[in-house]
A and B are shown apart, each in its own frame.
Chain A
Amino acid sequence: MKGRIGLWRFLPLTALFFLLAGCGEDRLTALDPYGPQAQWILDNMILSLYVMALVIIVVFTLFFIAVVKFRRRPGDDEIPKQVEGSKVLEITWTVIPVILLAILAVPTIWGTYYMAEEAPEAAGSSGGEQENAEGEEGEDSGEEPENAEEAEEEGALVIDVTGHQFWWQFDYPDGFSAGNEVYIPTNQKVWFDLSASDVIHSFWVPALGGKIDTIPGVDNSMWLEANEPGVYKGKCAELCGPSHALMDFKVIAMEPEEYEAWEESMTGQEASGEGESSEEEAAEEEQSSGNEGSEEGDTAASEGRQVFEDQGCIGCHAVEGQGTGQGPTLSNFADREKIANVLDVNNENLEGWIRNPDDFKQGNNMPASPDMSDEDMDAIIEFLNSLSAEEDMNQ
């Protein structure tokens, strides 16, 4: 009976959490987890809250009794007994906290290792990613060329993440890349190898798990898993400049079959932009030779595509799947949930953004084009709106 009463007393705390889960936005708040890692974090947070509630209840009770009971009444000049201390009490409030902390230390250490799990060996070598410094074991298998599909079947998708001021680049093992919106299959661990190109950022998807910093010159790694398909919001959590607050991203989780179709669609796009052997070369080539380079490809350039090249957009924004690292790839622009992650998707916002990006994201690196003619603008917008991987997928 006693035990039941005790549990009942703690119920309000748990209930409070379900109540609070309603406060935040669905698929953003960490109080409503959508993956095993986020669930683990929430469970252990609640565990620590129970332990801490114990401490708080004891202290607050003593405190309120003391301030009510031991008030000095007016005219009371009696000097209270001068107590030196109590060894028994001192030992009590040393030992009990030690026990409480030991209780918390166990899941802490277990969880630290749980979250630090490395990607299975095979995945690390496909797509030519850098291995995390701690994952040296991966080297053996690195010699056998393994294609990404096989790695995927083993359940280890490794996505390279690069933080830039103020956008995210996601490079997939198949060679294509995505900007600001990362697609993952549901119900499997997806690994992220993270770094940054300029300053330190931090990669955080509250509804799916914890965060880790992306640091220039350092390779970090973490995994996330989503239980359900959907769009999960991610944020940059490390101050990275004036538009730090706007450096959001989305994790779009799809059923594995659907994800595969998407992946194929993206890979197909990349194949259409042949003649680009690596990301850097692609960027240089585009910048130096202008539109000629891509005319060799079989893209029957629409008018918008032509303008996109003439205006130099392509110098930073790849549209064939591979990223340049200069700006987010626009291969699947029409699928975006937001423009530059801050603006609702509509043509007006898109035009406003292209004309003067600094109005919306202070300090970002995209040059303004305030004087572009309306025709060119319309053409570019039309072109951008035609870039969709999801549409291809459905066809």
Chain B
Amino acid sequence: MATETAANNNKSVLWDWLTTVDHKKLAVLYLIAGALFFIKAGAMAIFMRIQLMSAENTFLSGQTFNEFITMHGTIMLFLAVTPLIFAFMNFAVPLQIGARDVAFPFVNALGFWIFFFGGLLVSLSWFFGGAPDAGWTAYVPLSSGEYADLGLDFYVLGLQISGLGTLISAINFIVTIINMRAPGMTMMRMPLFCWTGLVTSILIVFAFTPLAAGLALLMLDRIFGGQFFMPDAGGNPVLWQHIFWIFGHPEVYILVLPAFGIISEVVPAFSRKRLFGYTAMVFATLIIAFLSFMVWVHHMFTVGIGPITNSVFAIATMAIGVPTGIKIFNWLFTMWGGKITFNTAMLCASSFVPTFVLGGVTGVMLAMVPVDYLYHDTYFVVAHFHYIVVGGIALGLLAGTYYWYPKMFGHKLNEKLGQLMFWLFYIGFHLTFFIQHILGLIGMPRRVFTYLEGQGMETMNLVSSIGAFMMGAGVVVLLINIVYSAFTSERITVRDPWDARTLEWSTTTPVPEYNFAQTPQVRSLDPWFYEKVHGEGLMKPAEPMDDIHMPNGSILPLTIGLGLFVWGFGMIMLEMANPIITPWIVIGTGVIITFGSMLLHSIHEDHGYHIPLDKIKKIEKEVG
């Protein structure tokens, strides 16, 4: 049996990160990848707002603008928010349920690398004749071979690959949360973030599969002359919209539920009070998840499906308002009667509540079909969903960043810079998006690269752009904060810098490789808080101290992802006018890399290694 030395014999830091299967390190990788994509898509948004600052501006052409809106949406949803959600799920979920890692550490790494290479493939489109330009929804026929260039091939194959990674990670989390909970951690004692993580993962399994099918059909249409969506050959362009939104609507909840989860962690922690109506919160989450598959047609009210269908989906859509309302009031009553500390994390988390309500009420307004005939595809909708994704998801992610940062990196982020960031971002956000409701009502359709003079849209667009610059400034302050804090912030030696409630704060900081020297015994909801108040201030162990079995790192997840990347690129080369090499050679190479790596993983026996008891004792003593 391999010993500890096998794992740690002088491998470089880079190699360590490329081969890691540790959920905490993968969380950091997700965080970095997600942040890079976020900055990229955010910069595009700034460029778009510069273009729209004045009427008939010529800063960007219509074509470039369309590429920007498409990439902004695609990146934000698939390649920025999704990995950021996974970053926090990777970091917090195993710690919160008292596990040493996820169920399949190798698969966890595989999910990350496939996602990453898929994202890379989408991004490559800029260097091969332009990015996709049919909107993130890629409605056919605009996204078909007749009307869209190579960019859409990158969209189709890149998202197919990155979606596969997301799917793999989701399955891993379902297994982890169901099987890996510490003794005493019943389902109804799980922190709400784990609940939302579980539900999100289930949603991914059911939502990303139709997406994969839809993308495969579109790929067949584009590259192999299929006719699924082409009206001239008897195909149906509306079919794509159904497939896309059966994925697309749950996708919103896939992203927002973990944000709800983060809020449900941060608000109780800084109100020093347990989550109000925990059971109601869990069931509200489940109901939202169920209903999220019942409402996709509200994205298609103006397609002309008929009044019966539209009415049914309108009612279903309104119904989602009820469980969401339950959540809002439970957060409010968690703060009610508490002792609230307003640091950056809590500012983000608490301001989420009223902001999300504003996005929620416009959601109900949008559900009124005949009135939606006015709102649909206008800036009103743009404003609505940015209230959800920025005012909801982004604020949740920011709260999560400030909240878990000390546990992840061993120091807090600077509080002054944090609050500066918050106010810049929050005020900028409302400036940018509130006014867009009105822009929509006075006749500005969404996805327009310009508007004519004299339509009364100049001032409001200028205000919106100024707001966007403020948000941009807020993000820059966050980045400065990260660098500044890395050099100046005090190292944290205590377990629990926030006086928080859940299990992740019972581990030493920084969290050792094995998370818990002894698996904790959970006796209550908010187990760490319970032990601090009712117990001896430390978690009771559920097992004697012993050697800890750990998985070895592996480069194979990376090579499997790389193989898929090469394969995808080869598929796109089929559509290129003059490929340098025969595309089938590239496709073959990719397939060989991927399946070769899989084969290698299957025949190579890897039993992992053990961390010996005395070393664990040494580590535990050092950190106290």
Listed in ascending order, the chain A residues whose CB lies under 8 Å from chain B are 20, 23-25, 28-31, 38, 40-41, 44-45, 48-49, 52, 55-56, 59-60, 62-63, 66-67, 70-72, 76, 78-86, 89-90, 93-94, 97-98, 101, 104-105, 107-109, 111-116, 134, 198-200, 202, 204, 206-207, 209-213, 215-218, 220-221, 233, 235-246, 248, 342, 362-363
Q: Is the CB of A25 within 8 A of B456?
A: yes
CA A320 – CA B560 in complex, angstroms? 64
List, in ascending order, chain B residues with CB within 8 A of A215's CB: 231, 237-238, 303-304
Q: Is the CB of A242 within 8 A of B442?
A: no
Q: Is B369 an interface residue (CB 8 A)?
A: yes
Q: Is the CB of A116 within 8 A of B371?
A: no
Q: Is the CB of A70 within 8 A of B271?
A: yes
Q: Is B135 an interface residue (CB 8 A)?
A: yes
List, in ascending order, chain A residues with CB within 8 A of B377's CB: 202, 204, 211, 237-238
Binary interface encoding of chain B residues 362-382 relative to chain A, with 1 for a CB under 8 A from any of its CBs, else 0: 101101111111101110000
With A115-B373, A237-B378 given, can you name 6 additional A-B contacts, CB distance below 8 Å? A24-B441, A66-B340, A109-B311, A240-B142, A245-B445, A245-B447
Q: Is the CB of A211 within 8 A of B376?
A: yes
Q: Is the CB of A204 within 8 A of B326?
A: no
Q: Is the CB of A79 within 8 A of B322?
A: no
Of residues 383 through 428 on chain B, the ones whose CB sits less than 8 Å from some CB of chain A are none
For A116, the closest partner residue in chain B by CB is B307
Q: Is the CB of A239 within 8 A of B456?
A: no
| Minimum C-beta distance from A89 to chain B (A) | 7
| Minimum C-beta distance from B449 to chain A (A) | 5
Q: How many residues of B contact A (CB 8 A)?
A: 92
List, in ascending order, chain B residues with CB within 8 A of A24's CB: 441-443, 455-457
Q: Is the CB of A52 within 8 A of B364?
A: yes
Q: Is the interface of B mostly helix, strand, loop or mixed?
A: helix
List, in ascending order, chain B residues with CB within 8 A of A101's CB: 318-319, 321-322, 364
Binds A, one of B160-168, B205-213, B272-280, B507-515: B272-280
Q: Is the CB of A70 within 8 A of B61?
A: no
Q: Is the CB of B335 within 8 A of A83?
A: no
CA A28 – CA B451 in complex, angstroms? 13
Listed in ascending order, the chain B residues whose CB lies under 8 Å from chain A are 61-63, 66, 69, 133-135, 139, 141-142, 147, 231-232, 236-238, 271-274, 276-280, 302-304, 306-307, 310-311, 314-315, 318-319, 321-322, 325-326, 328-330, 332-333, 335-342, 350, 353-354, 357-358, 361-362, 364-365, 367-374, 376-378, 438, 441-443, 445-452, 454-457, 460, 533
Q: Is the CB of A212 within 8 A of B373?
A: yes
Q: Is the CB of B441 within 8 A of A104?
A: no
List, in ascending order, chain A residues with CB within 8 A of B139's CB: 199-200, 238-239
List, in ascending order, chain B residues with CB within 8 A of A202's CB: 302, 376-377, 445
For A26, the closest partner residue in chain B by CB is B456
Q: Is the CB of A23 within 8 A of B278?
A: no
For A66, the closest partner residue in chain B by CB is B335
Q: Is the CB of B237 within 8 A of A217?
A: yes
CA A109 – CA B276 in complex, angstroms? 36
Given A24-B455, A45-B374, A112-B307, answer yes or no on A363-B276 (Cβ-Cβ < 8 Å). no
Q: Is the CB of B374 within 8 A of A206?
A: yes
A111, A198, A204, A238: the one within 8 Å of B371 (CB):
A111
Q: Is the CB of A362 within 8 A of B328?
A: no
